[in-house]
Amino acid sequence: MRLWAALLTAALLAPNAAAATDWTLRGALFVPLQWSEIEGWRDDDHLKAYDTFLNSCRHMTRPGAKIAADAKPLEKPLARICRHALRHKAKTATRARKFFEKEFRPVRIRRLGEQAGFLTGYYEPIIEGSRTKSDEFPVPVYGRPKDLVSAVEQTGPDFPNRGGVLRITETGERVPYYDRGAIEDGALTGKNLELVWLRDPVDLFFTQIQGSARVRLKEGGTMRINYAAHNGQPYTAVGGLLVRDGRIPREEISMDRIRAWMAANPEEAKALRRANRAYVFFRVVDNLPEDQEAIGAQSIPLVAGRSLAVDRNLHVYGTPFWIDAMLPLTAEKSQERYRRLMIGQDTGSAILGPARGDLYFGAGDEMGRVAGRIRHPAEWVMLVPKSLRPKTIIPDVPMPRPRPAAS
């Protein structure tokens, strides 16, 4: 009852409700809130969230940026809010908080049929590499092959991170692209695609999962690499396979445990990696300062602790989300409250659903250990422009057949 009462009350009492446009999100359940109902809301540093939001706004409103006629309904009102924010920049945390409260309405969001959202974490690895192949550095990092095309005709830096991908053969035929095993066996050898060489195939495997890395070069300096494309093959979480086969207990699964198992079982680890047929290709990111974070899917640098990867098929980059969860931030089995306003600025092939996200923690092994522990439920509150009126659409469920009359 509370859900339907909340929906009705919000629709009646929302500012400018008469002028608001109905808006929904596929597979999502909305529960409108008052700002006072969001625990911890006033305690966050809203200026940091605001500055991260402005980064997205600058990209959305840059000269030449266009919003397609069939764009998601959220994009145009979000762009209007962005232009206002860029003209009247908040200078304090209090003013930033009041900006969000003035421009948005808070709506708790989750997938239909589920009680909460779900979080994982990611980071930017720092690994060792070389510009030339050697016995010490035998593992190639490949750039995007020329014969790889998206089935949905997307190319360039915005190559989709999931969906159909094809290989164009010498005869012009379009066939599925090589899987991980075929690539590791040399399917791309001799095509001059090597960007850099790594010491360990495990480093490459986890870099492909994270989508970026800082490569400390043997010759000196650092090469920054970022996601460029994928091979279109299905992604399989190797952690799930280790749990299924009894190699690692479910309650102990983490990136560190997976790495340790692979190091202790190199031959089995090779077969395990090949069970994940998906493969990621990279590009070199030039002129990215050492103190700047990795580039996200919105084509802007991420902000550690404020950038969130979301389902790009459902959400619009630049959307603010309030995340509330208990996470193991300081140790494997610790439980600390994580309440923070974050901005959707990235995506990932495993990020599917309206309340599914990946928290970006920053670069390096320490951040990697934290990110690798995160697999936890969370409350999601989406900040929706006030010009939109969230509307839950409950799927039609057939009524049960009437019971037969007693004879």
Q: How confident is the model at residue 172 (pLDDT cuts 50, 70, 90)?
A: confident
In 66-221, beta strands by DSSP E: 104-111, 117-124, 126-130, 139-142, 148-150, 165-168, 174-176, 194-198, 212-217
Q: Which of 232, 257, 284 is the last residue of a domain?
A: 284
Q: How confident is the model at residue 9 (pLDDT cuts 50, 70, 90)?
A: very low
Does the pLDDT at position 398 exceed 80?
Answer: no
Amino acid at 168: I
Strand 126-130: give its sheet, edge to edge: 139-142, 194-198, 126-130, 212-217, 222-230, 280-284
What digits encode the pLDDT tens for the residues 110-147? 999 899 999 999 999 999 999 999 999 999 999 999 99
pLDDT of residue 14: 43
Q: How confident is the model at residue 22 (pLDDT cuts 50, 70, 90)?
A: confident
Q: How far apart are CA 134 and CA 19, in angstroms?
A: 66
Same domain, 165 and 266: yes
Same domain, 324 and 260: no
- Whether the CB-CB separation of 291 and 87 falls below 8 Å is answered with no
Mean pLDDT of 81-103: 96
**Is 403 within a domain?**
no
State which H helix or E strand residue 160 sits in: none
Same domain, 47 and 87: yes
Same domain, 319 and 259: no
Same domain, 256 and 162: yes
DSSP class of residue 73? T
- The C-alpha angle with vertex 229 and arms to 82 and 140, in degrees rounded to 5, equals 130
Nearest CA among 330, 358, 329, 362 for reference residue 346: 358
**Is 228 within a domain?**
yes
- Whether the CB-CB separation of 248 and 261 falls below 8 Å is answered with yes
% the chain with pLDDT above 90: 73
**Is 353 within a domain?**
yes
pLDDT of residue 156: 42
User: Which two three-digit tokens encode residue 70?
Assistant: 């069939």
Does the pLDDT at position 377 exceed 90?
Answer: yes
Q: How far apart are CA 363 and CA 278, in angstroms?
A: 24
CATH number of the domain that residue 63 is part of = 2.40.40.10
Same domain, 233 and 138: yes
Backbone angles phi, psi at 250, to 5 degrees: -55, -40
pLDDT of residue 287: 81
Same domain, 132 and 52: no
pLDDT, averaged across the chain: 88
The number of folded domains in the chain is 2
CATH number of the domain that residue 165 is part of = 2.40.240.50
**Is 44 within a domain?**
yes
Nearest CA among 337, 335, 303, 336 for reference residue 320: 303
Q: Residue 7 sits in which domain range?
A: 2-117+302-360+382-390
Same domain, 275 and 347: no
User: Which two three-digit tokens encode residue 65?
Assistant: 């940026």
Same domain, 127 and 230: yes
**Is 198 within a domain?**
yes
**Is 290 within a domain?**
no
**Is 325 within a domain?**
yes
pLDDT of residue 286: 85
Cα pseudo-dihedral 279, 282, 288, 293, rounded to 10: -10
Burial class (CB in 10 A: 0-12, 13-18, 19+), 237: middle
Same domain, 309 and 265: no
Backbone angles phi, psi at 77, to 5 degrees: -65, -30
Does the pLDDT at position 157 exceed 90?
Answer: no
Q: How far apart are CA 115 and CA 119, in angstroms?
A: 14
- More confident call, 72 vs 373: 373
Q: How far apart are CA 159 and CA 174, in angstroms?
A: 18
**Is 371 within a domain?**
no
Same domain, 90 and 206: no
Same domain, 35 and 174: no
